[in-house]
């Protein structure tokens, strides 16, 4: 077997230059001639030639011994280490740094005939402690902790403390991956001085334990591990688990009203190895079960189920979807929030004569259960960013007269979730109108005017309607035939309109023969609706038509509620909430376990920004301001945890090599009983500093004895030789 010699303190090797000192002193002393006065040649004759020869030999031996003494002392300080077949009697065992990473993700709550996977993992971790010797350092880390960039772990040198740390590990709602753990280990091992560097990762080794969706820029990025690093991947649990879980819950409706249906889409995945039949899926609003279905899903397939739900009150409504328990219960529950606001704050910008019909439409409630509107008005020249603080929707009828700064404020407003309805003004020039649109969107819609003259005695009408747009959800009864559906929507007679260019961000809601009548441009979290005609009687009879009020009402409701509909975030992810309204200096966050904490507030251009990082538990979180609910959001477990498919060994090796680990340093153990043998094979390093200290001590004693004899012989010879 090849022997590898390494120095743990290589800087000390510069001390080898000190071994030249005895040699230089010896050479220097040879050149110094000392005169000895004598009266006759009798004294020289009495000297024995063989005695002088012995003195010179002793001097040479002393020179060698003194050089070796310095040499061995320097080597001892440099801490030489051998990895190979050197017998353990000749050296002490090398000190080790061991990092024990325990997978505490939700998938570790599964069980087989040997018990819960996490319990098996903790038993394996306690067995690993038996290989830790006194003087070694060991780190006990949970995978869920390694996703935190600020996490710091101190070594355990007390085995009782280490065992307690292992025994206290519980299932976490946060998904930590082996990639996260290796990234942290690479940083941690770069600071340790021990020669043996060992990483023990105890996991179920499923596909969900690895990051398979790395960003393109990180796919070729390798971690840097010290040369002697050994990685042991130990599998906890080794059974084919039956599991069906809820992947996602999505609210597909964007206009929510009391006593009117809205839809949610539930995606179910079967990651087990057999078909599931008659699994009961229930949906709750509050504490009431409002819908349920029995579902069948083929193995390794997903299925989408749509539910139509009817809310009975306004405000924040807590919803959840539950599935019957199986081997993995953590993915059988998903949370969602439905928010039906009491009112939508609407800001009208322009001249009153240009939006008077709009104001009338919004003040007439279409149903007792409908959303009401709190309307504020301002002219274009008085409009400022302060008006946007409380507005959920801005309706602009005088865009051409807005300044560049006012347009930039609107741009920031839309990026933060605000909705805008742009209605042209018959008196604005196209150049001004197009320039202001470009300021808000960042690109132009190149609006041009289409006009029918009086001599033509003609007009245009609706040609095509996108009934799948959320604006029409529940508004019209869809017939089987397209022509019949179009007859249900009365078209105004339009003599003049603006023709907008269609962009990749455009969605035409209602089209005319030669351009859109109502169009949506996707912007950040919300959108901007563009109407091609004024809400006056100058270009059309639109305000006089029965369809006018419903379109205005639902357009504003759509823009005002869209930013409120947010899907749940993943446990452990930060939640950022931007508040345009004025709030108190002390906001509280109520967590699913009932604990309450103060929220740090950060100022930004449009108001306050809340950075919520304590989202470790699944469930509902409530932001409270002076005992009133300001916001609510839901947190769910990462759906990737449902994928309990075992990772193939070839996939694991390829994946870890891409992370920067050498193939011969990766040890995958599907059977934990092989751990002791594998560690014994790889941990054969011996540190030789004590051997060199003993050699230096032996040489020092030998040098003292020879030096004493040499001095005695020199005196007897009558020479002063050192």
Cross-strand pairs, 267: 248, 304
Q: Identify the bridge partners of residue 197 per DSSP, sorted by sequence position.
A: 97, 229
The DSSP output letter for 195 is S
pTM of the model: 0.75
Choose between 711 and 655: higher pLDDT. 655
Question: What's the confidence (pLDDT) of residue 136?
Answer: 84
- E-strand stretches of 63-211: 80-83, 92-93, 96-102, 111-112, 115-116, 137-142, 196-203
Pairing of strands 315-323, 276-285: antiparallel
| C-alpha R_g of the chain | 40
For residue 434, pLDDT over 70 is answered with yes
Record the tokens describing residue 460, joined without a space: 């245009």
Model confidence at 702, pLDDT cuts 50, 70, 90, reads confident
Closest to 83 in 3D by CA, of 196, 165, 214: 196
Q: Which two tokens stand for residue 645?
A: 């498919």
At 596-627, the pLDDT tens digits run 999 988 887 667 889 998 899 999 999 999 98
pLDDT band per the 50, 70, 90 thresholds, residue 480: very low
Q: Which residue has the higher pLDDT, 559 or 675?
A: 559
pLDDT in tens, 385-419: 888 888 889 999 999 899 999 999 999 888 878 89
Confidence category of residue 16, pLDDT binned at 50, 70, 90: confident
Which is higher by pLDDT, 553 or 371? 553
CA dist 409 and 417 (Å) reads 13
In the predicted structure, residue 700 carries a pLDDT above the cut 50: yes
Angle at the Cα of 624 (from 622 to 627), degrees rounded to 5? 130
What is the model's pLDDT at position 154? 87
For residue 206, give the nearest of 237, 245, 252 by alpha carbon.
237
**At 30, is the pLDDT very low, low, confident or very high (cuts 50, 70, 90)?**
low
CA 518 vs CA 461, 464, 499, 515: distances in Å: 12, 11, 11, 9
**343-562 has which fold?**
Rossmann fold (3.40.50)
Give the per-residue pLDDT at 721.
42
The whole-number average pLDDT for the span 41-60 is 63
State the Cα angle at 342 between 339 and 347, rounded to 5°: 105
pLDDT, residue 478, reads: 45
CATH architecture of residue range(s) 94-203+211-232+664-684: 3-Layer(aba) Sandwich (3.40)
**Which of the 8 DSSP states describes residue 13?**
G
Strands 244-251 and 229-235: unpaired
- 265 touches 252 (CB < 8 A): yes
Percent of the chain with pLDDT over 70: 84
Least confident of 61-65, 259-263, 340-344, 507-511: 61-65
For the chain, the structural domain boundaries read 4-89+688-717, 94-203+211-232+664-684, 244-339, 343-562, 569-636
Fold of 244-339: Immunoglobulin-like (2.60.40)
What phi and psi values does residue 695 have, to the nearest 5 degrees? -65, -40
Residue 649 in tokens: 């060994």
Per residue in 219-244, pLDDT (tens digit) is 567 788 888 789 999 999 876 778 89
Domain 569-636 has CATH 2.60.40: yes
Query: Of 115, 106, 107, which Cα lies nearest the Cα of 206?
Result: 107
**Nearest to 686, CA basis, from 80, 13, 74:** 80
Could you tell me which residue, 240 or 344, shows the higher pLDDT? Answer: 344
Residues forming beta bridges with residue 201, ordered by sequence position: 101, 233
Query: Where would I find the H helices in 447-591?
Result: 482-487, 548-562
Q: Which parts of 403-541 are beta strand (E)? A: 419-422, 448-451, 464-465, 496-499, 506-512, 515-523, 526-531
Residue 200 has what pLDDT? 95
| pLDDT score, position 454 | 55
Which of the pair, 315 or 486, is modelled with greater confidence?
315
pLDDT of residue 487: 45
| Pairing of β 244-251 and β 262-270 | antiparallel
Q: What percent of the chain clears pLDDT 90, i.e. is strictly above it?
A: 40
Beta strand spans in 107-260 (E): 111-112, 115-116, 137-142, 196-203, 229-235, 244-251
Domains 244-339 and 343-562 share a fold: no
Which of these ranges, 322-326, 654-658, 676-680, has the smallest mean pLDDT?
676-680
Element (H, E) at 180: helix 178-189
Average pLDDT over residues 11-40: 68
pLDDT-derived band at 215 (thresholds 50, 70, 90) equals low
Residue 109 has pLDDT above 50, yes or no: yes
């Amino acid at each position: 077997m090849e022997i590898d010699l390494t120095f743990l303190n290589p800087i000390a090797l510069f001390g080898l230059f000190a071994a030249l000192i005895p040699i230089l002193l010896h050479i220097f002393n040879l050149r110094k001639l000392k005169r000895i006065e004598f009266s006759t040649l009798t004294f020289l004759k009495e000297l024995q030639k063989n005695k002088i020869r012995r003195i010179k030999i002793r001097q040479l031996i002393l020179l060698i011994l003194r050089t070796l003494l310095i040499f061995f002392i320097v080597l001892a300080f440099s801490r030489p280490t051998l990895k190979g077949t050197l017998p353990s009697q000749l050296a002490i065992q090398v000190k080790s740094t061991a990092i024990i990473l325990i997978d505490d993700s939700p998938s570790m709550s599964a069980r087989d005939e040997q018990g819960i996977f996490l319990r098996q993992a903790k038993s394996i971790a306690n067995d690993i402690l038996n290989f830790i010797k006194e003087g070694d350092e060991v780190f006990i880390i949970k995978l869920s902790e390694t996703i935190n960039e600020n996490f710091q772990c101190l070594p355990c040198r007390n085995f009782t403390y280490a065992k307690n740390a292992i025994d206290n590990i519980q299932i976490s709602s946060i998904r930590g991956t082996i990639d996260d753990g290796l990234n942290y280990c690479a940083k941690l091992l770069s600071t340790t001085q021990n020669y043996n560097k060992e990483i023990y990762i105890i996991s179920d080794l499923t596909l969900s334990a690895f990051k398979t969706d790395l960003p393109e820029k990180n796919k070729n990025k390798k971690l840097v591990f010290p040369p002697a690093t050994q990685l042991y991947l130990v599998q906890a649990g080794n059974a084919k688990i039956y599991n069906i879980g809820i992947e996602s819950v999505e609210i597909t409706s964007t206009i929510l009203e009391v006593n009117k249906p809205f839809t949610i889409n539930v995606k179910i995945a079967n990651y087990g190895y057999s078909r599931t039949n008659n699994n009961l899926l229930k949906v709750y609003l509050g504490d009431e079960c409002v819908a349920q279905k029995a579902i069948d899903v083929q193995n390794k397939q997903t299925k989408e189920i749509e539910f139509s739900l009817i809310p009975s009150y306004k405000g924040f409504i807590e919803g959840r979807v539950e599935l019957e328990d199986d081997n993995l219960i953590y993915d059988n529950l998903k949370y969602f929030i439905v928010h039906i606001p009491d009112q939508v704050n609407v800001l009208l910008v322009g001249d009153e004569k240009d939006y008077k019909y709009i104001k009338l439409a919004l003040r007439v409630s279409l149903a007792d259960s409908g959303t009401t509107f709190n309307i504020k008005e301002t002219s274009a020249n008085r409009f400022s960013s302060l008006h946007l603080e409380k507005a959920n929707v801005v309706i602009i009828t005088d865009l051409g007269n807005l300044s560049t700064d006012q347009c930039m404020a609107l741009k920031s407003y839309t990026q933060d979730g605000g909705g805008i309805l742009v209605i042209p003004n018959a008196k604005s020039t196209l150049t001004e109108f197009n320039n202001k649109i470009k300021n808000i969107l960042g690109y132009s819609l190149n609006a041009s005017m289409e006009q029918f003259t009086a001599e033509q005695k003609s007009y245009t009408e609706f040609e095509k309607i996108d009934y799948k747009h959320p604006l029409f959800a529940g508004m019209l009864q869809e017939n089987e035939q397209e022509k019949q559906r179009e007859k249900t929507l009365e078209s105004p007679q339009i003599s003049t309109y603006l023709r907008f260019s269609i962009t990749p961000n455009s969605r035409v809601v209602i089209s005319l023969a030669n351009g859109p009548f109502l169009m949506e441009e996707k912007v950040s979290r919300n959108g901007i609706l563009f109407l091609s005609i004024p809400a006056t009687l100058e270009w059309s009879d639109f305000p006089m038509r029965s369809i006018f009020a419903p379109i205005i009402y639902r357009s504003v409701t759509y823009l005002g509620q869209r930013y409120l509909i947010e899907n749940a975030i993943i446990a452990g992810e930060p939640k950022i909430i931007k508040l345009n309204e004025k709030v108190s200096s002390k906001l509280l966050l109520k967590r699913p376990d009932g604990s309450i904490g103060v929220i740090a507030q950060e100022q930004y251009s449009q108001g306050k920004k809340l950075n919520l990082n304590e989202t470790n538990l699944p469930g509902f979180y409530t932001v409270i301001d002076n005992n009133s609910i300001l916001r609510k959001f839901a947190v769910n477990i990462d759906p990737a945890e449902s994928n309990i498919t075992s990772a193939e060994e070839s996939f694991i090796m390829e994946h870890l090599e891409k992370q920067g680990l050498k193939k011969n340093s990766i040890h995958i153990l599907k059977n934990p009983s092989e751990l002791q043998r594998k560690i014994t094979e790889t941990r054969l390093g011996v540190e030789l500093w004590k051997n060199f200290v003993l050699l230096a001590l032996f040489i020092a004693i030998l040098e003292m004895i020879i030096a004493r004899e040499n001095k005695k012989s020199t005196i007897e010879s009558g020479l002063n030789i050192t």
